[in-house]
Amino acid sequence: MQYIKLGNSGLEVSQICIGCMGFGDPAKGHPTWALGEEGSRPVIKHAIEEGINFFDTANLYSQGTSEEIIGKALKEFAKRENIVISTKLGAPMRSGPNSFGLSRKAIMTEIDHSLKRLGTDYIDLYQIHRADPFTPWEETLEALHDLVKMGKVRYLGASTMRAWQFAKALHIQKVNGWTRFISMQHNYNLVAREEENEMIPLCADEGIQTMIYSPLSRGMLARPWGEKTTRSEAEAGALNYFEATAAADEKIVEAIGKVAEERGVSRAEISLAWLYRNPVVAAPIVGALKTSHIDDAIKALSIELTNQEVHRLEAYYTPRVDVNVKNSDPKAIAKMAATVGIKIPVPTGSK
């Protein structure tokens, strides 16, 4: 396994991060395709045995049971000081006021809940799951800084927002002398490259590295076009933003298949190898549901694509609605708040 420093920090992480959304109790809601504790443990153990030390979860995943499963398994299979635990907050966790967002109250509440579920005294990388347009940045960022000073958190990260929002947050942290974000978790892959326009250049300039969620576009880049899986059937509605670019996406998937066949490797290996070419990318977040998913990610580390192969993979790319922007839109966040009984007036002019 290869390890790198995450962003402009001394934190050493494996170049593969295990995404833990699939480790949870499927009876608790999203995701319905989660493995449960018994199915999760062999995958987690295999990752550790292969030298992976980076695990990413969130309080939201299976209503906290993902954190519980990860905490128990890591305590059994590894030494805490060798593991980097990353979790997130910001999504609704219960009904009623103060159950949602990035207020000081919500942050101070959710950190303690996550620590209890994970069975640990501290979180290595604490990330805001979305920007919160309804709470002042100063309130959120000072509260996060206080968590670091309290010893409950070691480093801070962000996820899924517009580049201007992230730039504003970084500026506020800098001028106040508060702990700065060292990472950005965002959606980026061969069919979703919109982040190359602003977010990736911003991160490169600020010395921040990215953790890539959905590096295989929910598995679409790891299988022939049109092939269905349990997860793709369960999340059919979430894939609507692909419709406008389906023709181009199909050609990209075909190109991945041809390059993989010529090299005698899997489609997943080629897709991940393409991501590793970007120095801003610290680690793709591999949503491993099988040990073979981890093995493919490890093999991808040793693949160096030629310029000709890269050209073939990138030739048909067509811009789409940026899912990172879509998920951070005030209307979308207000709609999410409404699911737990919180009514938020959306500012005039919000798209």
Active site residues: 61
Strands 12-14 and 3-5: antiparallel
Phi, psi of 93 (to 5 degrees): -115, -10
Closest CA to 211 of 165, 271, 148, 280: 280
Q: Is the Cβ–Cβ distance between 143 and 132 less than 8 Å?
A: no
Cα distance between residue 46 and residue 52, in whole Å: 9
Bridge partners of 155, per DSSP, are 125
At 17 the three-state DSSP class reads strand
Q: Is the Cβ–Cβ distance between 170 and 146 less than 8 Å?
A: no
Six token digits for residue 6? 């995450």
Cα 287 to chain centroid, rounded: 10
Q: Is the Cβ–Cβ distance between 169 and 137 less than 8 Å?
A: yes
Cα distance between residue 224 and residue 269, in whole Å: 14
CA distances from 174 to 87, 150, 168, 329 (A): 23, 19, 10, 25
Q: Is the Cβ–Cβ distance between 221 and 253 less than 8 Å?
A: yes
Sign of CA dihedral 296, 301, 305, 311: positive
Report which residue type is found at 196.
Answer: E
At 38 the three-state DSSP class reads helix
Closest CA to 89 of 72, 71, 101, 103: 101
Q: Where are the beta strands (DSSP E) in 132-197?
A: 153-159, 181-187
At 241 the three-state DSSP class reads helix
At 42 the three-state DSSP class reads helix
